Amino acid sequence: MKETRIVVMGAGGVGKSALTLQFVKNIFVQTYDPTIEETYQKLMSIDGQQCLVEILDTAGTEQFMALKELYMKSGHGFVLVFSLAHLASVNELGPLREQIVRVKHLRVPTVIVGNKADLRAERQVPREIGTNLSRAWGNVPYYESSARKRINVDEVFCDIVRQCRAFEAADQASRDRFAKRNKKGCVIM
């Protein structure tokens, strides 16, 4: 069984840990306790295939951002989270994505998540901002979620695992084609 490593990133307080814990343990944590780094594993079945998903819940606070590049190198897919109740949190995603692309040297499986959809009265980010960001990044899937109400939590993680599988299959096919093309005999004269 193949392991898929997902990295959850975004600004502090956007609900990265709440989303992760809701997905892995079916619980919602009310209190905000800044994360340094937590790793969770979940065995699941997606499209009839068993998989082990390892989720790295990262720090959103500036003091731990030196670890970002290490997270990016090890991740197969990325869940980039902002808070629908905090407009400035959207601005954190662009530089994160640029760094991921720079570190990975390619387009990688990514999902954008506008979290805290249940806080309708506090909403500061219109849906159009998320959809525009999605289009600007090449139609990266965009979800609006609520960890508290468990809205689109499973969908986010299933989507990123599917993307990782498709990416890996395409990468393997490309390597196979390259190996087949270069399988010419060696002639020494």
CATH number at residue 58: 3.40.50.300
Range of the domain at 24: 3-181
Percent over 70 (pLDDT), the chain: 84
State the DSSP code for 37.
Answer: E
Residues 6+ apart with CB under 8 A from 29: 17, 18, 21
End-to-end Cα spacing for the chain: 47
For the segment 34-61, the average pLDDT, to the nearest whole number, is 85
Kindly state whether residue 186 falls inside one of the protein's structural domains.
no
- pLDDT over 60 at 187, yes or no: no
Is 9 among the domain residues? yes
Please say if the pLDDT value at position 92 is more than 60: yes
- Give domain status of residue 55, yes or no: yes
- 65: confidence class by pLDDT, cuts 50, 70, 90: low
Q: Are 59 and 36 in contact (CB under 8 A)?
A: yes
How many structural domains does the chain have? 1
- How does the average pLDDT of the chain come out, rounded? 88
Q: Which of 29-38, 79-88, 113-122, 140-149 is predicted with the least confidence, judged by mean pLDDT?
A: 29-38
Task: Establish if 188 belongs to a structural domain.
Answer: no
Specify the amino acid at residue 149: K
- pTM for this structure? 0.87
User: Is 10 among the domain residues?
Assistant: yes
Per-residue pLDDT, 95: 92
Query: How far is 36 from 1, CA to CA, in rounded Å?
Result: 29
